[in-house]
Chains A and B, each alone.
Chain A
Amino acid sequence: MLSKLGEITVMTEISTFNQGKEQPIKASEIDPTFKYELEKLPGAEKIFLCFQCGTCTSDCPIARFSDSYRPRTLIHLAHLGLRDRVLNSDTLWLCSACFTCTDRCPQNVEVDSIIRVFRNLAIEKGYIPQGLRDQTQTLLETGYVSKVPESRIKKRETYGLPPLPKTNPQTIKKILKNIPFFDRINQTTATATLPQPQGDNKNDSQ
């Protein structure tokens, strides 16, 4: 976890897709523009206010049980200009968005928003965790982020609950069509190629 003098060593906490071990920083990895770019993005405006006190990491519930996830380190890497190490980091996706860091940061840095900005940039760069991809697919198809299994819908009837509200997946595609990531949704083919919402969910045994 320590930096060696002479040769800067990145903390083992940050693993990337390619490397899980300490790797000395190469000059070619450093992108000094990264932090200025971040500063302009909504949510990351206050990234320069971070003075690396570590409050966020010490109060982070995920850091408590993870050997690798450290919000302070992610911000530090961004300060250093290590764009790829931040955005390729699989640990980036561990944050549970509990907002403890944001509430307790003595510099009022919106740490959770900065993590979110990192995630948005990572997606732009081309990586998405499987679970999030599946959720997004379901959302675009059904309007719900997870499929409501047929058994649940039947159970609602048994209990006398009102039917679930209607959704309109076509309007969701319409309103998101100018947003990066969703911008390639083609209205006509999308309807043709998107799998229809399944009435029953095989995994559901509840």
Chain B
Amino acid sequence: MTHSKWLFFLGCAIPTRGISYEISARKILTKLNVELIEMPEFNCCGLPLDPINHEAMQILAAKNLALAEQQGLNILTLCPGCASTLKKVNKTLKADPQQKDEINQHLKETGLTYNGTIETKHLLQFLKEDIGLETLKNVITHPLTNLKVAEHNGCHILRPKKIITFDDPEDPQTLKTLIEATGAECLDYTDKTQCCGLPSAAINEKIALQLARDKLNHIKKAGAQALITICPSCHTMYDTNQPRVEKTFDETYRIPILHYPQLLGLAMGLTPQELAFGELRVNPEKITQQLATPTTQKLDVEPPLRPELVSEIEKTITNGKFTKVENFQKEYMLE
């Protein structure tokens, strides 16, 4: 197996709410002989600043790209938001030398220059293009036969199609194929490509929770034993907030939500402990036990929910409160 070296871009969401994603991804990448180099310096990819000022977003992204260029390595990230932001800015600036010069003017004082010499890939695209299905199939030692799961790609990994070109946003195949490589069955369901709603949660929680309920209803109806995600934000919406969705709408799901590397890791023979299954809010015992016992019989006992945790949403909900920009500037950074 060829050895490859990538600059690992964690982003903000992974350290705050994606530890099991990070742990499992690092484990499978090590097994796949991929060397991860940590970013020597970093800041938020820039995406959250886009609603405030588009150029500010571009500057933050370009700074990260410039830092990566100094290392001479391509970026690998687990967060579709970071991946699409870095890609989008890279693509725009490469195509527009004038804009590139403008952005470099802003970066000047820090001694950094953006040149456009590196690329960014999300784990999913990396597994598809750089590892490849054949290699992946060779490392599967514990095929997950008898496991029926559903996939959730999320938005930034697929759209806009003009920027993200490695899959078809209307009929995505990459994640499905990668799931099937583990031996599990990937079920089809209604509104597969629908947004998880997390970005809207801070303005209107009800809408976000309704979107999550919609998804959970569809995958429950399809008979999926777990949902597989590749985004820390989507995962928060379906795992961390699942009890909240259940409570709000008086539903029962208890559907485990696994990060794709956790699923792949199981099929590579890693243990649930090694893959940080203990960090999942919805107890995944039902599936781990089924995989451990050589029977197709499903457990009928519902495992208990993990102790109540304060949901991400509860923390971010501000009920659409608005504040004057001037107040903000006065309070925090005014002259």
Contacts and interface: CB of A to CB of B under 8 A. Distances in A.
Interface of A: 17, 42-43, 61-62, 64-66, 90, 93-100, 102-103, 110, 112, 116-117, 119-120, 123, 126-137, 139-140, 143-149, 152, 155-156, 159, 161-162, 164-169, 171-176, 178-182, 184-186, 189-190, 193-194, 203-206
Given A126-B324, A162-B38, A165-B39, A96 B195 contact: yes
B41 A167 contact: yes
Interface residues of B, number: 73
Contacts of B318: 129-131, 134
Contact of B109 (A103, A126, A175, A184): A175
A133 B320 CA distance: 12
B3 to A, nearest CB: 19
A17 B324 CA distance: 13
A139 B53 contact: no
Given A120-B54, A159-B19, A175-B106, A166 B42 contact: yes
25 contacts: A61-B195, A61-B197, A96-B198, A97-B50, A120-B52, A123-B51, A126-B326, A128-B323, A129-B202, A129-B320, A129-B323, A131-B202, A136-B52, A161-B19, A164-B10, A166-B40, A167-B41, A167-B42, A172-B60, A173-B333, A176-B60, A179-B56, A182-B53, A186-B335, A189-B334
Interface string B50-66: 11111110011001000
Contacts, number: 232
Interface in B297-335: 309-310, 315-316, 318, 320-326, 328-329, 332-335
Interface in B274-308: 276
Contacts of B159: 98-100, 102-103
B240 to A, nearest CB: 8
A165 B10 contact: yes
B332 A193 contact: yes
Interface stretch (B204-212, B217-225, B243-251): B204-212
Contact of A65 (B109, B193, B210): B210
A73 to B, nearest CB: 17
A136 B109 CA distance: 21
B12 A155 contact: no
B141 interface: no
B15 to A, nearest CB: 5
B322 A128 contact: yes
B322 to A, nearest CB: 5
B310 A128 contact: no
Contacts of B10: 164-165
Contacts of A166: 40-42
A90 B328 CA distance: 18
A145 B42 contact: no
Given A17-B322, A179-B56, A165 B40 contact: yes
B203 to A, nearest CB: 5
A135 B315 CA distance: 12
Contacts of A100: 155, 159, 193, 195
B50 to A, nearest CB: 6
Contacts of B321: 129-130
B110 interface: yes
Nearest to B203: A93
Interface in B76-131: 106-107, 109-110
Contacts of B109: 171, 174-175
Contacts of A185: 333
Contacts of A147: 16
Contacts of A123: 51-53, 325
B155 A176 contact: no
